[in-house]
Amino acid sequence: MKNHSRYSFILMLFYWLVLPQGELLANAAQPGIWNAGGTVFTMLYQEDSLTFKKVQMQQERIYIQLYKGFAVVKGSYVFKNTTNEYLQFKMGYPVNGIYSGGANNLNQIILDSLSQFKIKANNKWLTLVRENYPKINADAQNIDAFSDNWKVWQMQFAPNEIQKVEVYFIVNTNEAKIRKGYNIEKRNALIYLLESGSVWKNNIEKGEFNIQLMDSLTLNSVQGISEGFGFKFNAKNQIFAGQKTDFSPTPKDNLIIKYSEFNENFLFENAIKQTNELFTRIDQMSQIPFETLTYANIKLRNPYEVENTFEGALPGLLTLFVIFAPFIIVFFGVGIAVWAIIKWIRLKKNKGE
């Protein structure tokens, strides 16, 4: 029994010292997409909470251009003040932080990846101001801000007013990791969070989502896109087109795109030097008459799927080995003992004859 305890201790010590503990624990984390590019906006103050449900997002049109290492996004929204009241509230996002959304699979966005954000309402650019210690609304509980620095803007609505709001931004997509069990893939990934849109009054009447492949990317460069959008593909313009109607966003409605390979030499700073040109391109894209294009049905893969590898299976196999090794040692020990006893009895019997 002492030998059994000694062997168990030695095996556990080997497992503890040789295996990289931090990486092992990280690999065993929640499945899903980590460190993706994307953004989330939140209403900041609790006193505005009654205002949110008085404004309805009637329509949203999202335009995305994917490049190797980054993505450019333009969002066009139609909001309506459904009351006879004058409404105003503040919205914003943390300059440094993460957002952890999703359901069974994590949808984690590194907000530091957001760059060059700008917004206009009724064709007038809104001023973004920096604020410290904003009193975060309960709807923002999934945000972990790493500093007190937020970018904030003021929204105002006259009674029964309908406003067109447009946002532009660029995000780094090159740092994403897709996890499933102990398997990890490094890819480019963009998450457009629809779940945060559930704060508005009633359902969103219509959402249109158009994704264009740039930078020599092709259909084969895309490893997965979220289901539920009915995406079809126009090969001439390299555009995915999908939509949703009459929906109140939940985590399963988030738009996730996994594409291309991780590029260790990519510099996001070089990409944002082209901001004016990139925003001009996405404005041109938004003018395409998408309804006149010819689309083909395509089979899209699950963006959460990860290729099984030996490296991914190894930690699990080692864990099983550590659990069952003592029993295996005891089994072989008993087997050797039984063999030795039988051998001894036969030798003794042979000598007696």
pLDDT tens across 5-30, in order?
A: 444 433 333 333 333 433 333 434 55
b/e per residue, 284-318, with b = 16+ CB within 10 A? Answer: ebeebebeebeeeeeebeebbebeeeeebeebeeb
Mean pLDDT value across residues 73-93? 89
Q: At 285, which helix (H) or strand (E)?
A: helix 275-286
Say how many C-beta atoms besides its own lie within 10 A of residue 327's C-beta. Answer: 11
Comparing 220 with 113, which gets the higher pLDDT? 220
Q: Distance between CA atoms of 125 and 74, rounded to whole angstroms?
A: 14
Q: Distance between CA atoms of 302 and 224, rounded to whole angstroms?
A: 5
pTM reported for the whole predicted model? 0.74
What interhelical angle do 310-352 and 2-18 show, nearest 10? 160
Rg (the chain; Cα; Å) = 28
Is pLDDT above 60 for 275? yes
pLDDT tens across 88-105, in order?
A: 888 877 666 666 656 566
How far does CA 311 lie from the centroid of its chain?
Answer: 23
Q: Sheet containing 239-247: give its strands across.
A: 124-125, 114-121, 162-172, 70-81, 55-67, 204-213, 239-247, 232-234, 296-297
Q: Distance between CA atoms of 278 and 272, rounded to whole angstroms?
A: 9
3-state helix, strand, coil in the chain (%, to 5): 30, 40, 30
pLDDT of residue 255: 87
